[in-house]
């Protein structure tokens, strides 16, 4: 479903700047397979706890360790995807700011959210001891993404001419 959201955003913002719209689309599309591959680790953990006969060669402690490993791999995969969730917000923010048909403040909020995603994921991946500390603040920053979602859902961004294409006041 998110693929269709990205395609709609690309179509909406292509007239604003095709390069930024393409960057937005590519960055978010890269995150989708990473997220889906991460789910494979959850499926592996579920198989391990299923009690299937072929798992009888492992004792309970080994199975528990493998389940934990796969769940950790799942969370690390999502951290990698989260990097792209943050990166795609930068071209999205630039497009919102330049669009003229969406309030600019929403673009600024997208930049703040992008830094939240990046701070959290990079810290957990590179400095895991500091991850929980940074995540307390970074998670709150990612909430700055919510206003653009609400704006698009409530007020609806219809294709509108750019500022330079709009007629000057009083001239049709």
Where are the domains positioned within the chain?
Answer: 2-162
- For position 163, what pLDDT does the model report? 54
Residue 37 has pLDDT above 50, yes or no: yes
For residue 161, pLDDT over 90 is answered with no
The answer to whether the predicted template modeling score (pTM) of the entire model surpasses 0.85 is: no
Give me the pLDDT at residue 29, please.
93
Question: For residues 58 and 45, what is the distance between their CA atoms, to the nearest angstrom?
Answer: 14
> What is the CB-side half-sphere exposure of residue 44 using CA atoms within 13 A?
17
Q: Which residue has the higher pLDDT, 163 or 20?
A: 20
State the pLDDT at residue 158. Answer: 56
As a whole-number percent, the residues of the chain with pLDDT over 90 amount to 80
Calpha distance 85→139 (Å, rounded): 13
pLDDT at 153: 87
Residues 100-158 pLDDT 10s: 889 999 999 999 999 999 999 999 999 999 999 999 999 999 999 999 999 988 886 55
Contact by Cβ (8 Å): 60, 68 = no
Phi then psi for 166, rounded to 5 degrees?
Answer: -75, 140
């Amino acid at each position: 479903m998110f693929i269709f959201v990205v395609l709609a955003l690309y179509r909406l913002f292509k007239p604003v700047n095709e390069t930024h719209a393409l960057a937005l689309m590519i960055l978010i599309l890269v995150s989708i397979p990473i997220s889906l591959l991460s789910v494979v680790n959850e499926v592996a953990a579920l198989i391990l706890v299923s009690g299937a006969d072929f798992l009888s060669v492992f004792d309970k402690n080994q199975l528990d360790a493998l389940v934990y490993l796969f769940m950790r791999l799942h969370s690390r995969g999502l951290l990698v995807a989260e990097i792209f969730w943050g990166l795609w917000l930068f071209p999205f923010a630039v497009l919102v700011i330049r669009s003229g048909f969406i309030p600019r403040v929403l673009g600024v909020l997208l930049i703040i959210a992008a830094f939240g995603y990046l701070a959290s994921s990079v810290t957990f991946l590179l400095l895991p001891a500091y991850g929980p500390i940074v995540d307390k603040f970074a998670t709150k920053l990612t909430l700055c993404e919510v206003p653009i979602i609400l704006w698009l859902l409530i007020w609806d961004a219809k294709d509108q001419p750019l500022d330079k294409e709009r007629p000057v006041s009083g001239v049709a």
